[in-house]
Structure 1
Amino acid sequence: MNSEPDIAIIGAGAAGIGAARRLGQTGLSVSIFDALPRLGGRAWTYKTSVGPLDLGCGWLHSGDRNPWTRIAEESGFKVDRGLTAWGRQFRNLGFPKAEQEEARRAFALWSNRVATAQLASDRAADALDPDGPWTAYLQALSGYISGDELERISVKDYAAYDEVSTDCNWRVPTGYGALISASLPAGIEPHLSTPVEALTTNERRIVLQTAGGAVRARTAILTVSTNVLAGSAILLPSALDPWREAAARLPLGNNEKLFLEIVGDSPFAPESHVLGDPHDPTTGTYYIRPFGSPVIECFLGGAGARVAAAEGQRAAFERAIGQLASLFGSSVRDCLRPLVASDWAHTPSIGGGYSHALPGHADARVALARPFDNRLFFAGEATHTSDFSTAHGGYESGIRAAEEAINALANDC
């Protein structure tokens, strides 16, 4: 391990890999560290008997402008640009067409209030119709989109994302996580299962304490999640308290995935989708047989993901199977088997899904992205002002932080 690199990168997710890709072109010495035993962070393609499954990010959101689309094609990864089944309820099961139209109108009205700033506050829940019958549905959507309930979502923050996002949601059949973890440039050796336990800035160098020894870097790029930065996993100097406070205003929401294997004959059609219960804010949403594979992906957000984290995977799988049985008939229980599930809430080096700004604190993203002393730089999806909660926002923030570090070192000569 190089104990005195020019630049140390803490975190080997999309942001850390983005920074490494930019720095790999400079001739500077770079060391990258991650507490996990693998690359990718919240991008994780898990290999199973039915094929690769993304336990973290799985969609190239805004694929037409997403830099990972270009990287995928340059690296030989296929990008599927086909239409997806999201937003359609298979055979209108449990969600009659008339109710779907009503629910969509409720979401459109809420979105219009948010977009046109017809609110006295910055709290997304204040855009709800207090007498509307679709609050539970909108809270479920908020869980999928932001990882939390509308009471804890900043309108300004939500609108910033919504304004720039496109409808191009594409996929990498072999896995988005596989693409990201394969994109670390040659020549930069990752130090995995190597958590940074403490960071000090009171020397001429940034000193990182790891289980493998001390690392004294000229500069460092910190890409850890906001929950880690605001917490106690890494001992940080008091001079960084403003950054920790900004991170606390950008908490990770709760998002988890469960995958069920389909065995034998079943009524599940390839590339179809159902929402479990539109009147339950904790409901799962189910993508059925992606690319024709014998699997169902259950996505949980907000309250639903918190229930899964609290009750455990066995209960979460049973609840998902129960929702599917209520829609497709009890016989489907015989052809569904728990396969694999995420547990981001209990992963110490992450601590949740993706960031959202608390009401009144959208500007914390800018505060979190500020360099410290022109020696310590911050990246990660939470530091992006519009593409937060995405792997491409993380990647772009890594590029930005790398440029800042390059300029700092150039001026330090």
Structure 2
Amino acid sequence: MTDFDTLIVGAGIAGLTAARILASQGRQVVVLEARDRVGGRVWTSRSDGEVVDQGASWIHGVDGNPVADAVDAFGMRTVEFTVGSYQPDGRPIAYYSPTGTRLSDEATERFVSDIYSFNEYFATTIATSAPHTSFGEAVETTFSQLKWDDDRAMRVREFLRHRTEEQLGVWLDDLDAHGLDDDAIDGDEVVFPDGYDELATHLAQGLDVRLQHEVTRVTWTPGGATADTRHGPFSATRIVVTIPIGVLKSPGFVIDPPLPEHHSQALDRLEMNAFEKVFLRFPHKFWDDDVYAIRQQGEAGRWWHSWYDVSDAHGSPTLLTFAAGPCARETRAWSDEHIANSVLDALRGLYGERVVEPDRVHVTRWQDDPYSRGSYSYMTVGSDRSDHDDLSIPIENVLYLSGEATWTDDPSTVTAAVKSGHRTAEQILGRPVPYDTIWAGDRS
């Protein structure tokens, strides 16, 4: 048994952020990581010169964002690629009708106008919705007020369903009505042509990180805490648990004694999603010019409804689509080839024989990852926005929970992970700490 000031379980972005701040303030910190790498759900694969962010890809809004400040300080290269949280316009989007014909500019303008009109009423519906109202129920309540014809309502209903799937990896009836309240983007969004995992690499510099040290049990008392690993136990005055809530809720991870009721109830109301990326690299481009996204309406877009041209970031003709919500669950056992063929069939409905076979396919498998059990968190029906922050309340000043699921304003993001890790460090230190402490003294 080795004694430290602070044990941190998980070398994801939240854990590394907290560790880096605490270590800079003279605390003796060790980070215990189950994987053979740092970064957690920020993971970049590299093969044959191709860089693919299998996990997090974006900074969603660089203005006033400490992640963007850290990236700048670390000298990481970025490319602007603003998706706008599944907005209907703002960037060139090629919309295709249920029959596979591209909408005219006039038809697209009418469709986008309908979405904005709906959103005005929808905001009031959400604000006045009763507890335990689902996002889907709020959608239908709003449509009952509008009294649109069936086709008009169906196109907007589809858009909203795809929005919850693509943003949170969840069917709209399984998401709380307030599940997208924190859907604000300040400034451009950027991606990383050299890989987002460079952030984790920089954050880990100089830290005591023990890889392949899976923690299966945390035991705590008012006097300290112990983490059990196959390499033996580690003890400290305090312990910070930053693992994804999918693992935190699993039977293979034990906290003894269990979390207090207030924390456990908040945790019960949050869940991990089903969200996978599908990258297809092609020998040449066959899709629309001068658009950043392609979207399919109607039943043909039930699963594969949105494709993003990420060629500039990848350096070769590449489309990105998502298996999200029901699609991710139903295709979970499919091979990469089966998934790719299904996506190609959908593209052929738009481009016919112009579609060529991809020369590279990447499909993520976060649902099957034992150290994440999903991609990120969402609010189940009946949850409250305060559930995120409630998880972060220190327990006897010994046990702390941190990570994207514990941050209210923009959960499910790397920004939330950094901000939660920063907050946890401040809680332990008992005083404010500037964000620039995170990147000060980088030795890489």
Tell whether the structures are fold-level matches, with TM greater than 0.5: yes
1:17-39: CA deviation from partner (whole Å, max 9, x where unpaired):
21122112111111112222211
1:93-134: CA deviation from partner (whole Å, max 9, x where unpaired):
644145544543454345334432243453211222265213
Q: CA deviation at 1:282?
A: 2.2
| Separation in 2, partners of 1:284, 1:42 | 25
In structure 2, the residue matched to 1:249 is 269
The alignment partner of 1:275 has SS state of strand
Contact 2:281–2:316 (CA under 8 A) maintained in structure 1:
no
| Equivalence map 1:381-400=2 (5 Å) | 381-400=404-423
1:340 to 362, 365, 368: 362
Q: TM-score, normalised by structure 1?
A: 0.89
1:89 to 67, 87, 93: 93
Segments of structure 2 that go 5 or more residues without pairing to the other structure are: 145-149, 432-444
| Equivalence map 1:260-275=2 (5 Å) | 260-264=280-284, 266-267=286-287, 269=289, 272-275=292-295
| Equivalence map 1:258-407=2 (5 Å) | 258-264=278-284, 266-267=286-287, 269=289, 272-279=292-299, 280-291=301-312, 292-334=315-357, 336-362=358-384, 363-407=386-430
Contact 2:269–2:382 (CA under 8 A) maintained in structure 1:
no
> CA 1:313/1:277 → structure 2, altered by over 3 Å: closer, same or farther?
farther
| Separation in 2, partners of 1:3, 1:269 | 59
In structure 2, the residue matched to 1:411 is none
In structure 1, the residue matched to 2:175 is 153
Q: CA deviation at 1:83?
A: 5.5
Q: Which moved further from structure 2: 340-349 or 64-73?
A: 64-73
> CA 1:241/1:314 → structure 2, altered by over 3 Å: closer, same or farther?
farther
> CA 1:320/1:127 → structure 2, altered by over 3 Å: closer, same or farther?
same
Contact 2:285–2:317 (CA under 8 A) maintained in structure 1:
no
Contact 1:286–1:297 (CA under 8 A) maintained in structure 2:
yes
> CA 1:212/1:277 → structure 2, altered by over 3 Å: closer, same or farther?
farther
In structure 1, the residue matched to 2:216 is 197
| Separation in 2, partners of 1:60, 1:183 | 16
1:22-74: CA deviation from partner (whole Å, max 9, x where unpaired):
11211111111222221111111111335211111111102112212111111
In structure 2, the residue matched to 1:220 is 239
> CA 1:270/1:215 → structure 2, altered by over 3 Å: closer, same or farther?
farther
Q: Which moved further from structure 2: 84-93 or 274-283?
A: 84-93
Does residue 126 (structure 1) correspond to residue 133 (structure 2)? The answer is: no
In structure 2, the residue matched to 1:104 is 112
Q: CA deviation at 1:173?
A: 2.1
| Separation in 2, partners of 1:90, 1:343 | 29
> CA 1:281/1:265 → structure 2, altered by over 3 Å: closer, same or farther?
closer
| Separation in 2, partners of 1:381, 1:260 | 28
The alignment partner of 2:344 has SS state of helix
In structure 2, the residue matched to 1:208 is 227
| Separation in 2, partners of 1:270, 1:189 | 47
| Separation in 2, partners of 1:43, 1:82 | 18
> CA 1:105/1:404 → structure 2, altered by over 3 Å: closer, same or farther?
same
Q: Percent identity?
A: 24
Q: CA deviation at 1:269?
A: 4.7
Q: Which moved further from structure 2: 266-275 or 26-35?
A: 266-275
| Separation in 2, partners of 1:94, 1:21 | 53
Q: CA deviation at 1:338?
A: 4.0
The alignment partner of 2:190 has SS state of coil
1:286-329: CA deviation from partner (whole Å, max 9, x where unpaired):
11243142322222322222223243433222111211222222
Q: CA deviation at 1:278?
A: 4.9
Q: CA deviation at 1:386?
A: 0.9
> CA 1:330/1:193 → structure 2, altered by over 3 Å: closer, same or farther?
farther
1:134-179: CA deviation from partner (whole Å, max 9, x where unpaired):
32332111111121122122233421x12x4325212222122x23
> CA 1:107/1:32 → structure 2, altered by over 3 Å: closer, same or farther?
farther
The alignment partner of 1:286 has SS state of strand
Contact 1:284–1:300 (CA under 8 A) maintained in structure 2:
no
Segments of structure 1 that go 5 or more residues without pairing to the other structure are: 409-413
The alignment partner of 1:136 has SS state of helix
> CA 1:388/1:151 → structure 2, altered by over 3 Å: closer, same or farther?
same
| Separation in 2, partners of 1:42, 1:82 | 20
Q: Work out the number of aligned pairs and report it.
A: 403
> CA 1:262/1:207 → structure 2, altered by over 3 Å: closer, same or farther?
same
The alignment partner of 1:179 has SS state of helix
The alignment partner of 2:356 has SS state of helix
> CA 1:75/1:350 → structure 2, altered by over 3 Å: closer, same or farther?
same
Q: Which moved further from structure 2: 11-20 or 357-366?
A: 357-366
Quick one: which amino acid aligns to residue 360 of structure 1?
G
The alignment partner of 2:258 has SS state of helix
Q: Which moved further from structure 2: 211-220 or 167-176?
A: 167-176
Contact 1:140–1:302 (CA under 8 A) maintained in structure 2:
no
Does residue 24 (structure 1) correspond to residue 28 (structure 2)? The answer is: no
> CA 1:346/1:241 → structure 2, altered by over 3 Å: closer, same or farther?
farther
